[in-house]
Amino acid sequence: MNKPSQKAQTSLRALAVLKPTRRQCQHQCQDITNTASNITANNLDITANNLNIATQQNTTDLKAGGGDNYSNSQSTKHQGSNLKVTGDLNISADNINIQGSKVVANNATIKSDNLNMPLSKILKPRK
């Protein structure tokens, strides 16, 4: 049996990828922040006081030309987080905020006093 990680705070930032090598991944913390990251697991257990699964905003400015002829443009993209669990996903947290992200699990159990999920999806994989 894997020993769960226990920390006061865990942060996964942009483009971090977490792929546990064992079948069961357990994570226990006071605060967990997952921003624009990918997590893939067979089974995933998350226990926290506060769980934030969020997006990161990337803005690109493009300026071209010279003299009287020039062009300015700007694009903004939001990179969401992705959790893909082929088995069971169990989340227990006082406060859960899942924003602009996708969670895919065969079976999902979410227990929370406060659950906020704007622009997010929780999906069951297609068979």
Tell me the whole-structure pTM to 2 decimals: 0.66
pLDDT at 1 (0 to 100): 44
Give tens-digit pLDDT for 85-100: 999 999 999 999 988 8
- Residue 2's pLDDT is 46
Note the pLDDT tens digit of each residue in 12-38: 454 444 555 555 666 677 888 878 888
List of E strands, 36-101: 38-41, 43-54, 56-66, 69-79, 82-98
The Cα–Cα gap between 39 and 48 comes to 17
Residue ranges per structural domain of the chain: 5-60+73-120
